[in-house]
Amino acid sequence: MKLAVPDLISNSYFPAVAAVELGFFKEEGLDVALELIFPVDAAYRAMRDGAVDFVAGSAHSVLAAFPEWQGAKLLCAQAQGMYWFLVMRADLGAARGDVRAVCGRRIGAAPWVEMGLRRLLIATGLDLEQDQVTIMPVPGASGTTVNFGMTAAQALEDGKIDGFWANGMGTDVAVRRGVGTIVLDVRRGDGPKACFSYTMASVAAPDRLIDDSPETAAAAIRAIVRTQAALKADPERATEVGRRLFPPAEAELIAGLVRRDLPYYDAAISPEFVAGMSQFCRDLGILHTEPAYERVVAARFSALWHS
């Protein structure tokens, strides 16, 4: 079986990556291989087309390949809350929480990921056109095997963009190099409160798998829950995974990033989250209905989220 992730050298989808590398999928009876497919909409289209069995990506982006939630569901969360950071060039002197730092600037963001930033900025009162905010692809971030956060950090250092909206690894690298400053960290309270529920890192599967092989879906959820528990018990196990998959410098950073994310490691997907995400998606025009919770989430497996 194959599990697609849209970014690999990252903390964003690390519970799913670690579930493969630490053997928890295998212990649940599933032979699962990782596949990096960027951007996230391409990963979900691969799942729609049967090329992969699961996607560990942003929850709202399921709609890229499954309009109105027809044909796929979320199995569980990898972690709670919208998890991207807004980072601006350090020499701009942007203060934490100052969303107007984006005015007149070029902000790099991945397809579908950029929706979270776009809606957040509008929610704070910005007019993206009048305030001359350019949200654009990151130079060099093309092809299906891009590690986006690292590419964004390099583009910021090279002066090709003025800021980026990306994962914690790219953020940490940019800050450590002295080229970036964190302006927004929504997961930890920056920005309007509703933004927390715009999306989350989840694991999704097609309805055909859930319906035809519910034991496979259940095993995948158990593998994620066990991985979350293992990392909570010993965050340094993340380094073991990082050393297998990441460049040396980033491998040594991942345990710290995972430790910071541990308070959000909860596999549950609540009705309140789905309502918030659905409103976000309707605001963007990528959803036109109010889908039932059970259409979005494979709720039959909810007892496994805290098993």
pLDDT digits (tens, 9 = 90+) for 275-287: 999 999 999 999 9
Q: What CA–CA distance (Å, rounded) separates 103 from 240?
A: 41
Q: What percent of the chain has pLDDT over 90?
A: 96
- Containing structural domain, residue 172: 85-194
- Residue 104 has what pLDDT? 98
Each residue's pLDDT tens digit, 146-162: 688 889 999 999 999 99
Of 194, 225, 256, the last residue of a domain is: 194
- Residue 94 has what pLDDT? 97
Both 70 and 95 in one domain: the answer is no
Q: What CA–CA distance (Å, rounded) separates 200 from 189?
A: 15
Average pLDDT of the chain to the nearest whole number: 96
Both 190 and 89 in one domain: the answer is yes
* C-alpha to C-alpha distances, 161 to 155, 191, 212, nearest whole angstrom: 6, 22, 46
Both 123 and 189 in one domain: the answer is yes
Both 89 and 42 in one domain: the answer is no
Both 94 and 188 in one domain: the answer is yes
Both 178 and 245 in one domain: the answer is no
- Residue 72 has what pLDDT? 98
Both 268 and 295 in one domain: the answer is yes
The H or E element spanning position 86 is: strand 85-89
Both 93 and 185 in one domain: the answer is yes
Nearest-10 crossing angle of helices 237-245, 214-233: 110
Q: What percent of the chain has pLDDT over 70?
A: 99
Both 89 and 190 in one domain: the answer is yes
CATH (domain of 24): 3.40.190.10
- Residue 144 has what pLDDT? 63
Of 178, 194, 210, the last residue of a domain is: 194
Each residue's pLDDT tens digit, 213-229: 999 999 999 999 999 99
Is residue 145 scored above 70 in pLDDT? no
Each residue's pLDDT tens digit, 102-137: 999 999 999 999 999 999 999 999 999 999 999 999
Both 77 and 89 in one domain: the answer is no
Concatenate the DSSP letters of all residues of 3-56 into one string: EEES-SSSSTTHHHHHHHHTTHHHHTT---EEEE-SSHHHHHHHHHTTS-SEEE
| Amino acid at residue number 217 | A
Both 184 and 277 in one domain: the answer is no
Of 145, 160, 194, the last residue of a domain is: 194
The phi-psi region of residue 194 (left if phi > 0; otherwise alpha if psi is between -120 and 50; otherwise beta) is: alpha
Each residue's pLDDT tens digit, 255-278: 999 999 999 999 999 999 999 999
- Residue 207 has what pLDDT? 98
Both 112 and 180 in one domain: the answer is yes
Number of domains in the chain: 2
CA 236 from centroid of its chain's CA atoms: 22
Is residue 183 scored above 80 in pLDDT? yes
